[in-house]
Structure 1
Amino acid sequence: MKLHRRTVRLAGRPHTVVSLRPGTAVRFSTNLFHETWHVLSDRHGARLLGRLLWGLSYQSRPGTLVVIDRGFITTTPFDGDPADRIVLVPAWDTPFTARHARALKARLPPASAPDGTVRWHTHGLDAALADPKAWLGANRDRDARVCGRVERLNGLVVLRPQSPHEMREWAVHCGRLDPHDHGMDYTYLGEGAHYASGEVQVFRSFRRDVSVARRARAEVLDELDEPVGAEVLRPLVWDRAEALKR
């Protein structure tokens, strides 16, 4: 897999920003539900996210970031809400604060051509996904005390594993998701003793759900006589989307 590479100055230091190439056939969305940030997609999206995480766990250097930019972000499949860009951060060697996030967001989408391409290596991931339960059992870091986090910083949803090993665990958890049997599948990221800060959720009909939710939202907004808050709008969109699916 080949990705684009750019050098960008953030918070006074040069950073290498890696991104998907135009034309990559994948879409993601994001939302906050039950105080947990969700990355939403289909099976293909989850597998690609896994490859991005796995490759970054090996190829990261200080100042390296992976950005999933607006061209690959779509509205949510539930209520058509706008979604945020996604950033993968190797927390063990790349600090990423609100200041970094603000500077990065101001430079998106990039105004210039990429500086070059990166060949993204994911050797070992396919073998891990052939039997993910066995791989996770054999490679679990039982001495780990600090886990990564998923959070929103200045309009960017940031996935921030704390170690290369944890990033590879996240990659396997994402890559093994399969919504075929039940229509939906999910995995937690940044899981603590009582909660998880992040979740990846995939849907068999993700693209159809996005399209229906977008149409439902447009119809509801067109019928409203005055602006309403999200707490009023979303249930109306949910009901309309269900009606459109019948």
Structure 2
Amino acid sequence: MKQQRPANARAVTDGIKLHRHPVRSLGGVRTVITLRAGTRVRFSTNRFHGTWHVLSDDRGARLLARLLWGLSYQARPGTVVLIDQRFVAPNPFDADPADPIVLVPGWCTRVDDQVAGGLKSRLSLSNPDGTVRWRTFGLDRALEPEAFEGWWDRYRGGEGNGRVSRRRGLLVLTPGSPDEARAWALHAARLDTANRYGTDYVYLGPWDHGYDGEIQVFRRFRPMLSVAARARAQVLSRPDAPTDPHSLRSAIWQEAEHVRGDAHLRIREWRGSAYALGAEAAAMLSQAGVSSLDDLADVGASEAYRRMRAAGVPGLDREMLWAMEGALTYRDRRSISAERRRELLDELGEDPTPGPVRRRRYRAPVRPVRSAPASRWGSS
């Protein structure tokens, strides 16, 4: 199979090349469009709080937007877009296996369980019939602020009935109309991780006591994949690794904190029937004479930080200060305002200019390796 040029593999523009695969005996599906081998993009999927998630980074969101926008002009029944297993990675939270993704124009093509099962059995589509130029005329123009507002005002009156569902091991995104496909595309293209949280999201489909689907992007999506895979492997290598899926996920989440080097930033955690200090945070705070959340509330984040600094606690950085303030005010440390951060630093008498972030490197436990028994015949 012809290898893509590096620039084409990274391109997320109008007219990207995709592969076309004619299929037979697959219900109402006659043509499957896939990404070309070597395309530099990764997706993942999971289900959380009753909602199916499509996960990726900014580039993945822009590519998904192109695919949905181009699909919105599909008038001939029987064409679907498949993001197959080559471009799908285990999810970035606990490395659970993820599902391939199918985009279906719900206004002219129907994919039920039988069709999804047949499509799943042909995931290893090879030898495409040819390539297509996936045109997305109007998308870039619609993303301009004035044009977007005008487009959205016209669309707002329409009721979307699209659905996101899992069928036979495939995550199926089915916008109900061309306009809804374009709305999903515009929302995906506008996702931006350049914020303090490093993530952004948009819901898909109509509200019905919740949403069927969601697209969520992360600035550090690929490092998250690596951390989750490493944490999962580390947990499963233990002799007492949990067998219950829920317990296994919890163990992987905790191990991932050690892999990232931020386990000490879990100041408040639910333990038994009440909140308590996280284990790593408690070990650091004990050197400041703080043994509980009540103690931390009494002395305050700045004083606790000052005591730990005076005690020479290793691995102490300003993220710990923000984390303690967040725990005391029931907020994520990343939501602490710049003004409040300056106040905390003023209390410490520190320069508000942020210094280099020192990450605590994770070192996997070194397991003793038993030396091979000596040969009964001795060395030669």
TM-score over 0.5 (shorter chain): yes
Tell me whether 1:124 sits opposite 2:138 in the alignment: yes
Asked if the contact 2:45–2:99 (Cα under 8 Å) also holds between the matched residues in 1, the reply is yes
Asked if the contact 1:10–1:104 (Cα under 8 Å) also holds between the matched residues in 2, the reply is no
Q: Find the counterpart in structure 2 of residue 85 from structure 1.
A: 100
Deviations 1:73-106 (A, max 9, x none): 0011100111000000001000110000000001
Which sits farther off after the overlay, 158-167 or 12-21?
A: 12-21
Q: Find the counterpart in structure 1 of residue 212 from structure 2.
A: 197
Alpha-carbon shift at residue 141 of structure 1 (Å) = 4.5
Deviations 1:22-41 (A, max 9, x none): 11100000000111100000
Of the two, which has the highest radius of gyration? Answer: 2
- Equivalent position to 1:220, from 235, 246, 253: 235
CA distance in 1 between counterparts of 2:150 and 2:231 reads 42
Amino acid at match of 1:28: F
Structure 1 counterpart SS, 2:105 = coil
CA distance in 2 between counterparts of 1:226 and 1:218 reads 10
CA distance in 2 between counterparts of 1:77 and 1:60 reads 36
Q: Find the counterpart in structure 2 of residue 96 from structure 1.
A: 111
Q: Find the counterpart in structure 2 of residue 169 from structure 1.
A: 183
Q: 1:226 to 1:203 in 2, by over 3 A?
A: closer
**What does 1:1-246 align with in structure 2 at a 5 Å threshold?**
1-13=16-28, 15-110=30-125, 112-131=126-145, 133-144=148-159, 146-181=160-195, 182-225=197-240, 228-246=243-261
Q: 1:196 to 1:13 in 2, by over 3 A?
A: closer
Percent sequence identity over matched residues?
55
Gaps of 5+ in 1: none
Greater RCO (Cα-Cα under 8 Å, separation 6 or more) = 1
CA distance in 2 between counterparts of 1:24 and 1:60 reads 27
Amino acid at match of 1:103: G
Structure 1 counterpart SS, 2:143 = helix
Alpha-carbon shift at residue 15 of structure 1 (Å) = 1.0
- How much is the aligned-residue C-alpha RMSD, in angstroms? 1.5
Deviations 1:124-148 (A, max 9, x none): 111122227515533314142x510
User: Which structure has greater strand proportion?
Assistant: 1
Which sits farther off after the overlay, 191-200 or 114-123?
A: 191-200
Alpha-carbon shift at residue 60 of structure 1 (Å) = 4.5
Structure 2 counterpart SS, 1:82 = coil
CA distance in 1 between counterparts of 2:161 and 2:30 reads 24
Gaps of 5+ in 2: 1-15, 262-380
Which sits farther off after the overlay, 15-24 or 3-12?
A: 3-12
**Normalising to structure 1: TM-score of the pair?**
0.95
Amino acid at match of 1:153: R
Asked if the contact 1:30–1:37 (Cα under 8 Å) also holds between the matched residues in 2, the reply is yes
Asked if the contact 1:147–1:192 (Cα under 8 Å) also holds between the matched residues in 2, the reply is no
CA distance in 2 between counterparts of 1:176 and 1:60 reads 26
Alpha-carbon shift at residue 10 of structure 1 (Å) = 4.2
Structure 1 counterpart SS, 2:257 = helix
> How many residues were matched structurally?
244
